[in-house]
Structure 1
Amino acid sequence: MANILVVDDELGIRDLLSEILNDEGHSVELAENAAQARAARQRMRYDLVLLDIWMPDTDGVTLLKEWAATGLLNMPVVMMSGHATIETAVEATKIGAHSFLEKPITMQKLLKAVEAGLARNGGTPGAATAPPRKPGMAGVVPMMPVAELTVEAAMTGGQSLPAAVEMGPQARQMFELDKPLRDARDEFEKCYFEFHLAKEGGSMTRVAEKTGLERTHLYRKLKQLGVDLSRGKRSSNSAA
């Protein structure tokens, strides 16, 4: 799990990025302007920052320059904008930005940018509390495994679920067939989604891709079936 700061003046974008990154197991802090971002950065060093370029008080490139000049740019920063020119993106990269995301931001591009940024940072959880790197040490290294509380652990009390091939016969024995088709189908679907949530480490993004459902449809389906994810999310937040 990584500590990520999202800086954007648009509430909808902050909420969307926060939801996706939280689903991926990351701890996310939000800032709606440069002033809040400055205060947040003074409190701690993040594993990654997603920084909007066009903001009402101070633009993202200026804030990036401030961090570079004061020695606070010791974490990967991914710039975001829907109106920036190529020159602006090049300028931000020269200052020290890791990469650039053009709005509207797709989920696939966001996750790839975050993964690449964390790989540069060593992929180490808790890097936000580590001392600043010395110049010349920020190379691209393989991402390290990240230990995190998963939905599987929350659902099973820390016990690992059996592999998919082992679950087949036992899963069939769990269902009572002497009941209406609708009830039996709901029980199967609940078991099906809980299995995939555990298998994908609680990531709604990957479960949606795996099951072929849109995220909004998936959320509605889980709520309808009574699959409660709040316990796992509360545990993850407290662990952060």
Structure 2
Amino acid sequence: MASDVVVRPKKTNFDLTLCECLLLVSVMMISALVNLFVDEKAEEERRKQRVLSMKQVLGAVAGSLASGLNVLLQYVTHFLQAAGIQVGLPINTVTPEGVIFVAQWVLLLLICYVVITLAFQLVTFFLRWIRWLLKLGVVLACFGLILKDHSVGTETMAIRLVCLGCICILLSIRPWKDRTMAARIVHLEEQVKILENRLREMERWRRRCVILSCCLIGLLCFVVFIVFIVIMLIVISSSQ
């Protein structure tokens, strides 16, 4: 009986190259993940260092402000006591923590004020835009109804269109850009008027200065003339 022969396929160069590529890709991915983790740790450390340095700077500034305020409070207290006024101040000493606390609340109030102002401006802008769109929609609807009504003559339709145009002018239905340009033009006109008034004031002050300088020069000349006459009289009297 013939023995069974098992034929095993030989590995080709393509299989070896594919294995090497997969191994290389896996190594590169692992190295990229390690580098990413290391970069994140380094970035976190740098962030902590920046926060710590900022805290130190803020602490130094707060300490300087606190010491300055304490000196100012002492001077104010001594001045009031010297004036005979006994005043008990609610704050004895100012600490850096108190300065930082007040600065944080002031900054928070400023941020809230800016956010509320921007929100009101946006709401006002959208309300104006919606109102303009509503006006425009009503005008277009009226225009379509006028053109759609074929039961009237051409003259009546023209009169209606003229009336609609007059209503549009009265309601100031214009594009938003035109309004913005008109507001800018009005603002520029006001600025020009202010500049003209300032120039007039400067011209008046210049005239006043010229008149005053002329008066001073005339007075000086008169004084010099009087002194000269007095000297001449003294010389004449001494010679006689």
Q: Which has the higher helix share?
A: 2
Larger Rg: 2
Q: Which has the higher strand share?
A: 1
TM-score (norm 2): 0.19
Choose between structure 1 and 2 for higher RCO, CA contacts under 8 A separated by at least 6 residues.
1
TM-score (norm 1): 0.19
